[in-house]
Amino acid sequence: MASSLLSRPPGSTGPASGLVSEETKLQPQIQTTTHLISIPARSPATPAEQDPFAPQNSQFVVNIIHLRDSLAVWVGSAPRDVVERARRKARLARTAAAAVEPGEDEDDALDRELADAMRRAGRLEESNESEAPSQNKQPCGSLATEWAVAMSLPIQNASGPPLGSSLFRTNADVALPMSQRLAARISIPQLFLSLDLPPSLISHATAMMPAPPERTKKMMLLERGIADAIRAGMRAVEEGKAKS
């Protein structure tokens, strides 16, 4: 299944658990969590897959904006250098002092790396205020390869999927059914799902030419990883509310 590394939400005193890296920012009425998930290239039983950041695996950044009764989820490929840093930290664990800046614990370092991944994907603005606006780098990510919204009613007909609509789609049309399944599975009243995925995952999957089995399996693992990230993010937000 999809795997990655979980860091404790800010202020948490319990041990880290699960397989989703996350960063949580609490702002007035707007809360965001950022997660790093890894999709294995082969069966998890393969020894090589014991390393979630192995080169043959695919890593994705999941950014979630938590609104009242609504989630906006963006998924995109993680930059290679961010993955390499996460891989080194996972291998060295708490002995990797060289990968952590002075006075910074491992959770803070991972949060910094995830923020860097979001910035490289064009999801965060550059923080250099001295730089002229004309010199700012252009975002290098995409809002979406596919973008859909699904609405799960409190009393949902078990025989049918939640209401949904494609806001932007390709011939593969994967965001709409994925958003509907996620909304129903996690009981999300309204879910906006934006997928900025590489062409190797979705460009050749059509009704007339279905995707190869291995690609279909990879998409299933990605969906499972997104679901895990959403659950982890929702838990972190609830914990933050309980402590506020």
Nearest to 52 by CA among 7, 15, 20: 20
Helix intervals (H) in 130-192:
175-186
For 3-122+139-243, give the CATH class: alpha beta
Q: Residue 160 region, left (φ>0) first, then alpha (ψ -120 to 50), else beta?
A: beta
Q: What's the chain's average pLDDT?
A: 71
- Length of the chain, in residues: 244
pLDDT digits (tens, 9 = 90+) for 35-56: 888 887 765 554 444 555 555 6
Cα separation of 150 and 152, whole Å? 7
Residue 91's pLDDT band (cuts 50, 70, 90): low
Asked if the model's pLDDT at residue 106 lies above 60, the reply is no
The H or E element containing residue 47 is none
Q: What share of the chain is helix, strand, coil (3-state, %, to 5)?
A: 35, 25, 40
Residue 99's pLDDT band (cuts 50, 70, 90): very low
Residue 205's pLDDT band (cuts 50, 70, 90): low
> Which amino acid is present at 47?
P
Asked if the model's pLDDT at residue 94 lies above 70, the reply is no
For the segment 219-232, the average pLDDT, to the nearest whole number, is: 93
Helix (H, G, I), strand (E, B) or coil at 157: coil
Percentage with pLDDT > 70 across the chain:
51
Residue spans per domain, the chain: 3-122+139-243
Nearest to 118 by CA among 87, 82, 165, 144: 82
Q: Pairing mode, if any, of strands 70-77 and 190-196? A: parallel
E-assigned strands of 118-217?
A: 146-151, 163-168, 190-196
